[in-house]
Amino acid sequence: MLLVSFDGFRWDYDRDVDTPNLDAMARDGVKAHYVTPPYLTITSPTHFTLLTGLYIENHGVIHNMWFNTTSTEKKSYYATQFQNDWWDNGSLPIWITAQRQGLKAGSLHFPGTAASYQGEVVMVREVEPWLYNFANETLWKRNVDEVMDWFSRRDVDFVSLYFGEPDGVGHKFGPDSPQRHAMVRQVDRTVGYMRRAVESAGLAGRLNIIITADHGMSTVYHGAGVKQITLSKIPGFSFSDVAFHLVDYGPSGMLLPKPGRLDKVYNVLKGAHPHLHVYKKEEMPARLHFSRHDRILPIVLWADPGYLINGYIPVQSNKGEHGFDNQHMDMKPFFRAAGPAFRKNLEVGPFETVNIYPLMCHILGIRPEVNDGHLNATKHMLASTGEDIQGGMSTEDMALTGLAAVVGFLAAVVIVLVSVSVYKRKKAAKGGLMGSVAHNNIDDFEKETAEHTTF
CATH of the domain at 288: 3.30.1360.180
Residues 33, 180 within the same domain: yes
Give CA–CA dist 47/332, Å, rounded. Answer: 14
Mean pLDDT, to the nearest integer, of 208-217? 98
Element (DSSP H or E) covering residue 267: helix 262-269
Residue 418, domain member (yes or no): yes
Report residue 410's pLDDT band, with 50, 70 and 90 as the boundaries: low
Residue 224, domain member (yes or no): no
Residues 423, 370 within the same domain: no
Q: Is the peptide bond before 40 cis (omega within 30 degrees of 0)?
A: yes
Residue 431 has pLDDT above 60, yes or no: no
Residues 389, 408 within the same domain: no
Q: What is the mean pLDDT of the chain?
A: 89
Which of 255, 141, 237 shows the shortest CA–CA distance to 194?
141
Residues 446, 401 within the same domain: yes
Q: Tell me, what's the pLDDT at 392?
A: 38
Residue 267, domain member (yes or no): yes
For 99-139, how does the pLDDT look when each residue is reduced to its tens digit (9 = 90+)?
999 999 999 999 999 999 999 999 999 999 999 999 999 99
pTM of the predicted structure, to 2 decimals: 0.86
Which of the listed residues 267, 290, 317 is the one where a domain comes to its end? 317
| Domain span including residue 403 | 397-452
Mean pLDDT, to the nearest integer, of 400-418? 46
Percentage above 90 pLDDT, the chain: 84
Residue 102, domain member (yes or no): yes
Q: Tell me, what's the pLDDT at 384?
A: 86
For 79-99, how does the pLDDT look when each residue is reduced to its tens digit (9 = 90+)?
999 999 999 999 999 999 999
Q: Which of 19, 36, 41, 43 is catalytic?
A: 43
Higher per-residue pLDDT: 239 or 454: 239
Residues 275, 413 within the same domain: no
Q: Tell me, what's the pLDDT at 385?
A: 62
DSSP string of 376-411, one letter each residue? GGTGGGBS---S--GGG--HHHHHHHHHHHHHHHHH
Q: Tell me, what's the pLDDT at 333?
A: 98
Quote the crossing angle between the two packed helices 431-452 and 395-429, to the nearest 10°: 100
Residues 262, 308 within the same domain: yes
Residues 196, 278 within the same domain: no
- If you ran DSSP here, which 8-state letter would residue 342 be given? B
Residues 9, 53 within the same domain: yes
Which of 111, 117, 84, 85 shows the shortest CA–CA distance to 99?
117
Which of the listed residues 378, 393, 408 is the one where a domain comes to its end? 393
Residues 213, 250 within the same domain: no
Is residue 43 among the annotated active site residues? Answer: yes
Residue 447, domain member (yes or no): yes
Mean pLDDT, to the nearest integer, of 243-261? 98
Residues 240, 296 within the same domain: yes
Residue 445 has pLDDT above 50, yes or no: no
Q: Which stretch of 57-61, 316-320, 410-414 has the lowest confidence by average pLDDT?
A: 410-414
Residue 35, domain member (yes or no): yes
Give the CATH number for residue 177: 3.40.720.10
Mean pLDDT, to the nearest integer, of 17-40? 98
Alpha helices in 6-163 (DSSP H): 20-28, 43-52, 56-59, 77-80, 84-87, 94-100, 137-153
Number of domains the chain contains: 3
For 363-386, how does the pLDDT look when each residue is reduced to its tens digit (9 = 90+)?
999 999 999 999 999 999 999 865
Q: Spell out the residues 6+ positions from residue 422 whose beta carbon is closer than 8 angstroms to its own.
A: none
Report residue 402's pLDDT band, with 50, 70 and 90 as the boundaries: very low
Residue 355, domain member (yes or no): yes
Residues 141, 281 within the same domain: no
- Percentages helix, strand, coil for the chain, rounded to the nearest 5? 40, 15, 40
Give CA–CA dist 341/348, Å, rounded. Answer: 16
Q: Tell me, what's the pLDDT at 386?
A: 58
Mean pLDDT, to the nearest integer, of 255-276? 98
Residues 340, 380 within the same domain: yes
Residue 361, domain member (yes or no): yes
DSSP string of 404-430, one letter each residue? HHHHHHHHHHHHHHHHHHHHHHHHHHT
Which of the listed residues 393, 417, 444 is the one where a domain comes to its end? 393
Give CA–CA dist 59/66, Å, rounded. Answer: 14
